[in-house]
């Protein structure tokens, strides 16, 4: 199976679906991460905090945009290695991008057609009013996927191709059933418990934006722990499917068949993250 992730910023792939990707990598799936912007201006902790010191390190305060971007790319490359992402492609657009850009849609479409993924993962486009770069990234990603599906050998010299499923990640809604939220909820969970240590280690690489150490453990304990509660496992990542699914029969998952309702809630506090992965 081939999976492509399309996210706005360097760390988004790891925070949203790093555990899921690690499990797919372990199964032998091929993963390409497409990052739309360079991330040079967001979460600039390392640089902002240095300037606040009485005697700042001049090597840090003198860093220009190229240095900052190079450092972010090195952090992402190390995180991608830990997760098992086969290839990282960065388009290096400005990270405050908040409007749909036709050229960027073309670039996305070309990369989608080149890799021909079975599945694409992107942010849930959750706020169409405030110009949120994650929503803009997903609007462009959806359009890029659709544009790639119009490529023809006659006109573009490319084979016909379409993505089979798109998963939106990171919708902060974790009701365990359909009725409580009028249907808007994450409907697919991946159990990342076996690889949670790799997600911690991958997040530990993002030192320049202070995603390492306690923040990594807090985010995974709280968000992936809450997703785990909803999923009936220790740690999980949550997704919404974009396309409906068609089955030969009504589906029931292996997890649902095997879950024990008595111990279901005990499962999600089994691993003491901070004790097992100290920082």
Binding site for Zn ion (CB under 5 A): 8-9, 12
Nearer to Zn ion, 7 or 268 (CB): 7
Minimal CA–CA distance to 32: which of 108, 102, 98, 93?
108
Hey, what long-range contacts does 171-176 have (CB within 8 A, 24 or more apart)? Answer: 171/124, 171/126, 171/238, 171/240, 172/223, 174/226, 174/227, 174/229, 174/230, 174/238, 175/230, 176/230
Least distance CB 253 / Zn ion (angstroms):
30
Name which of 2 and 41 has its Cβ closer to Zn ion.
41
Pick the closer one to Zn ion by CB: 45 or 194: 45
| Residue 113 DSSP SS3 | helix
- Closer CB to Zn ion, 135 or 186, in the complex: 135
For residue 132, the minimal CB distance to Zn ion (Å) is 9
Nearer to Zn ion, 8 or 273 (CB): 8
Q: Which residue is nearest to Zn ion (CB)?
A: 9
Q: How far is the CB of 120 from Zn ion (least distance, A)?
A: 17
Nearest distance, CB of residue 123 and Zn ion, angstroms: 8
**C-beta separation of 238 from 170 below 8 A:** yes
Q: Describe the chain by its helix, strand, coil percentages, rounded to 5.
A: 45, 15, 40
- In whole angstroms, how close is the CB of 184 to Zn ion at the nearest point? 22
> Considering only CA atoms, which of 26, 7, 10, 2 is closest in space to residue 82?
26
Name the residue nearer to Zn ion (CB basis): 37 or 234: 37
CB 126 → Zn ion: shortest distance, Å? 12
d(CA 208, CA 204): 10
């Amino acid at each position: 199976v081939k999976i492509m992730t399309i996210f706005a910023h360097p760390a988004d792939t790891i925070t949203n679906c790093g555990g899921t990707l690690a499990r797919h990598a372990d199964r032998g799936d091929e993963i390409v991460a497409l990052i739309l912007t360079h991330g040079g201006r967001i979460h600039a902790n390392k640089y902002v905090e240095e300037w606040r010191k009485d005697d700042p390190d001049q090597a840090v305060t003198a860093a220009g945009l190229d240095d900052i971007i190079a450092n972010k790319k090195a952090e992402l490359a190390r995180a991608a290695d830990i997760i098992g992402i086969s290839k990282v492609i960065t388009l290096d657009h400005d990270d405050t991008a908040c409007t749909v850009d036709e050229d960027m849609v073309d670039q996305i479409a070309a990369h989608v057609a080149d890799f021909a993924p079975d599945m694409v993962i992107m942010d849930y486009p959750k706020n169409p009013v405030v110009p949120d770069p994650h929503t803009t990234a997903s609007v462009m990603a959806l359009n890029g996927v659709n544009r790639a599906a119009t490529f023809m050998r006659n006109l573009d010299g490319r084979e016909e191709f379409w993505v089979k499923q798109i998963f939106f990640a990171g919708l902060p809604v974790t009701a365990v059933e359909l009725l409580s939220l009028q249907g808007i909820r994450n409907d697919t969970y991946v159990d990342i418990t076996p690889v949670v240590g790799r997600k911690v280690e991958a997040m530990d690489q993002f030192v320049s934006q202070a995603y390492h150490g306690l923040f990594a453990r807090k985010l995974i304990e709280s968000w992936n722990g809450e997703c785990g509660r909803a999923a009936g496992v220790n740690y999980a990542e949550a997704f919404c499917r974009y396309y409906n699914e068609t089955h030969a029969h009504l589906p029931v998952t292996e997890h649902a068949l095997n879950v024990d309702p008595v111990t279901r809630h005990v499962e999600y506090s089994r691993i003491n993250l901070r004790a097992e992965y100290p920082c």
